[in-house]
Amino acid sequence: MSRTVTKAAFTIGLLIMLMAVPAMGASVNKSVKIEADSEAGGASSVNGSITVGENAVVTGNVKTVNGTIRVDEGASIEAASTVNGGVRLADRVKSESLNTVNGSIKVGENASVDGAIKAVNGRISVDAGSTVKDDVSNVNGQIELAGTEVGGDLKTVNGDITLEEGSVVKGDLIVEKNSGWGWGKSKKRKPRIVIGPDSRVEGKIILKREVELFISDTAEVGGVEGKMTMDDAVRFSGKRP
Q: Mind listing the pLDDT tens digit for each residue in 152-188?
A: 999 999 999 999 999 999 999 999 998 765 555 556 7
Q: Which residues of 195-217 are buried (b: 16+ CB within 10 A; e: fewer)?
A: bbbbbbbebbbbbeeebbbbbbe
Say how far apart CA 102 and CA 47 lie, in whole Å.
14
* Residue 156 neighbours by CB under 8 Å, 6+ apart: 137, 138, 139, 141, 143, 174, 175, 176, 191
Q: What is the pLDDT along the chain (241 residues), one digit of tens a residue?
A: 444 444 555 554 555 444 444 434 556 778 999 999 999 999 999 999 999 999 999 999 999 999 999 999 999 999 999 999 999 999 999 999 999 999 999 999 999 999 999 999 999 999 999 999 999 999 999 999 999 999 999 999 999 999 999 999 999 999 999 876 555 555 678 999 999 999 999 999 999 999 999 999 999 999 999 999 999 999 999 999 9
**Percent of the chain beyond pLDDT 90?**
82
pLDDT at residue 127, rounded to an integer: 98
Beta bridge partners of 87: 69, 105
pLDDT at residue 114, rounded to an integer: 98
pLDDT at residue 51, rounded to an integer: 98
Residue 169: closest CA among 222, 239, 236, 227 = 222
pLDDT at residue 193, rounded to an integer: 98
Q: Would the CA dihedral through 212, 217, 126, 228 be positive or negative?
A: positive
Composition of the chain by helix, strand, coil, percent to 5: 10, 40, 50
Mean pLDDT of the chain: 90
pLDDT at residue 165, rounded to an integer: 97
